Each structure stands twice: as C-alpha cells, then as structure tokens.
C-alpha cells in the first residue's frame, strides 16, 4: 500500500497544521494572559488593602503623637503656671526666720517700753 500526496496537498496539510498550532498557541497565550490579569488584579487588591492598613496605623500613630504633644504642652503650661504662683505661696525658711526675728524684736521693744512706762509710773506715785 502506498500513499501518494501531491505537493499542494502537502503544503495545505502543513498550512493546516501550522494554523492549528497557531490557534492552540493563541488560545494558550490568551489563557496565560487572562491568568496574569487575574493575578495582577489580586495583587493590586492586596496591595491596596495593605496600604490602607499601613495608612490607618500611620494615622493612629500620628493621632497618638498629637495627643502626647498636646498633653506635654498642657503639662508644660501647668508647670509654668506653678512656677509663677510659687513665690506667692512659698516662703523660704530664711525669709520666715528673718520676718519672725523682726516681729520678735519689735515685740521686745514694745515690752521694754511698757516696762519703762510702768517703772516711770511707779516712781511718780
């Protein structure tokens, strides 16, 4: 048994085969492209979700830092107010002793005058 194939039939057979391989290749490349698009879309969604998580963490950190800064400013303001009020409510020990000494010397002077007046009054009797 012998098979005879004309040149044109062979050319057509080869063209058909290459067309089939090209169609299968195109179908395969289309499927690969579709899978890559799905994969990139999924990666983009994950990237956006991660970016939102990082942005939320950053915003929370900045809010906490802002609150800490405000608390620090409030503390500093209270401390400065305390420093301003301190001389009005605080007397140093040396100042108290000096004032007490002055009062005692004035009382001693007054007692001396009273005693002198009493002595003078007793002599004239």
Domain assignment present for 67 = no
- What is the total count of domains within the chain? 1
The pLDDT value recorded for residue 18 is 96
Domain assignment present for 43 = no
Q: Does position 25 have pLDDT exceeding 60, yes or no?
A: yes
Residue-range definition of the domain harbouring residue 124: 91-125
Domain assignment present for 104 = yes
3-state secondary structure 65-124: HHHHHHHHHHHHHHHHHHHHHHHHHCCCHHHHHHHHHHHHHHHHHHHHHHHHHHHHHHHC
The pLDDT value recorded for residue 15 is 95
Residue 20's pLDDT band (cuts 50, 70, 90)? very high
Q: Does position 125 have pLDDT exceeding 60, yes or no?
A: no
Domain assignment present for 95 = yes
Q: Is the separation of the CB atoms in 15 and 7 below 8 Å?
A: no
Tokens of 17: 């085969």
Tokens of 16: 């058909």
pTM given for the model: 0.46
Q: Does position 37 have pLDDT exceeding 60, yes or no?
A: yes
Domain assignment present for 102 = yes
Domain assignment present for 120 = yes
């Amino acid at each position: 048994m012998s098979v005879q194939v004309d040149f044109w039939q062979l050319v057509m057979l080869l063209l058909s085969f290459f067309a089939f391989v090209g169609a299968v290749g195109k179908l395969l490349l289309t499927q690969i492209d579709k899978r890559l698009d799905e994969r990139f879309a999924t990666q983009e969604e994950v990237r956006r979700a991660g970016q939102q998580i990082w942005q939320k963490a950053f915003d929370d950190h900045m809010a906490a830092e802002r609150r800490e800064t405000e608390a620090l400013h409030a503390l500093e303001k209270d401390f400065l107010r305390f420093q301003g009020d301190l001389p009005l409510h605080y007397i140093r020990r040396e100042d108290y002793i000096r004032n007490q000494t002055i009062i005692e010397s004035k009382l001693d002077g007054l007692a001396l005058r009273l005693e002198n007046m009493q002595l003078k009054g007793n002599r004239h009797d």
